[in-house]
Amino acid sequence: MESIGVLMACPMSSYLEQQLDNRFNLIRYWNFSDKKQFINDYAHSIRAVVGNAAAGADAELIEALPQLEIVASFSVGLDKIDLNKCKEKGIRVTNTPDVLTEDVADLAIGLMLAVLRRICESDRYVKKGLWKAGDFELTSKFSGKRVGIIGLGRIGLAIAKRAEAFDCPISYYARSEKANTNYKYYPTVVELATNCEILVVACALTPETRYIVNREVIDALGAKGILIDIGRGPHADEKEMVSALLDGRLGGAGLDVFENEPEVPDKLFGLENVVLLPHVASGTEETRESMADIVIELARATTIKREAPIVSGDADDIAINVDVNVGVDIGDVGAKSGGKHVDDVGGIYGGFTPFSGHTTSFAPSSSCSACKCEECKNK
């Protein structure tokens, strides 16, 4: 075990926790009810914080850890990390893009099928012995439905490719039109919702994209429209969404994320046109283990003074430089580039690279490097 203090922000992968415990002096933040005592006892020994979509590192915690060098997110999303404070303190921020893209895209398609074909309801129908009383009512087909995607980053693209296999016409909204795709682009989310039957949220959670699915968008999607959210809960105005579902102004929803997790509006529980999941889009054993390995190697790469992958830029750049996952896909929606090299691929590499593929990290810099990898050249 290395004599490096690593703070785990909340319970997450048991594999990650075990591996961190084997390699570092692991400190479990949730075990401390007295945060002041925690700061007094451990603040000067902690050089890395590991968080996820539920808990990360706010400004107060970052200020309290004078030796902090890296905040590693066991997730794609960075919305639980104060990026501006990290920039100010010169602290690296890393996440785990790419590795979870396929799982999240798979689940998005699964939610579309589950809502339209009422798979969960049909399962309950059989298990309750109701089939003997008569056939299950007819459902709606998925093939050929018009699919609109908010955020055409890696996850958004992966969803689009899968939906195309079902002969679904694809359209999208992003901060700007993509030059490398033939998908129909709409400059506003309302226009996108008006022209699709299934609306998928696959963008970053930023101040600009909070409540990007509001009443106007929901009404544009309409009484036969389906909302799929595999991004972050606050992307949708939850009260408006629930109201629209209850009133019949929205045809259905497949939700993997919620505004105040793990709290879920109980009014959704009785709706058969809604499928609810407990934020598990990237929740496969294979992907979570790969994510854990990335987090561990990035923490070691930084704290033992080897160079971790870096993307230079400011906090605004980071909001579009990495895909969000798990749930969450950052894409390039609703952020400011400041004229710097920013895309939804991420990954500037230099020096030590502990693993292959793209993992974006952040360190403050007065200049911005441009990614030279083949994937980014093709963007």
Residues tagged active-site:
232, 261, 279
In terms of Cα–Cα distance, which of 343, 370, 340 is closest to 176? 343
228 in Cβ contact with 112 (< 8 Å): yes
Task: Choose among 208, 142, 215: nearest CA to 173.
Answer: 208
Of 238, 361, 351, the residue nearest 253 (C-alpha): 238
The full 3-state SS of 3-21, as one line of letters, equals CCEEEECCCCCHHHHHHHH
- Per residue in 113-128, is it b (16+ CB within 10 Å) or e — as a string? ebbbebeebeeebeee
Coil, helix or strand for 258? coil
How far separated are the first and last CA of the chain, in Å rounded? 42
Q: Which residues contact 123 (CB under 8 A, 6 or more apart)?
A: none
User: Are 333 and 212 contacting, i.e. CB atoms less than 8 angstroms apart?
Assistant: yes
Omega of the bond leading into 354 within 30 degrees of 0 (cis): no
| Amino acid (1-letter code) at residue 259 | E
Q: Exposed, middle or buried by CB within 10 Å (0-12, 13-18, 19+), for 74? A: buried
Q: Edge to edge, what strands does the sheet with 252-255 contain?
A: 184-185, 170-173, 147-150, 198-201, 226-229, 252-255, 274-276
CA–CA gap between residue 354 and residue 310 (Å, rounded): 12
Cα gap 75→58, rounded to integer Å? 16
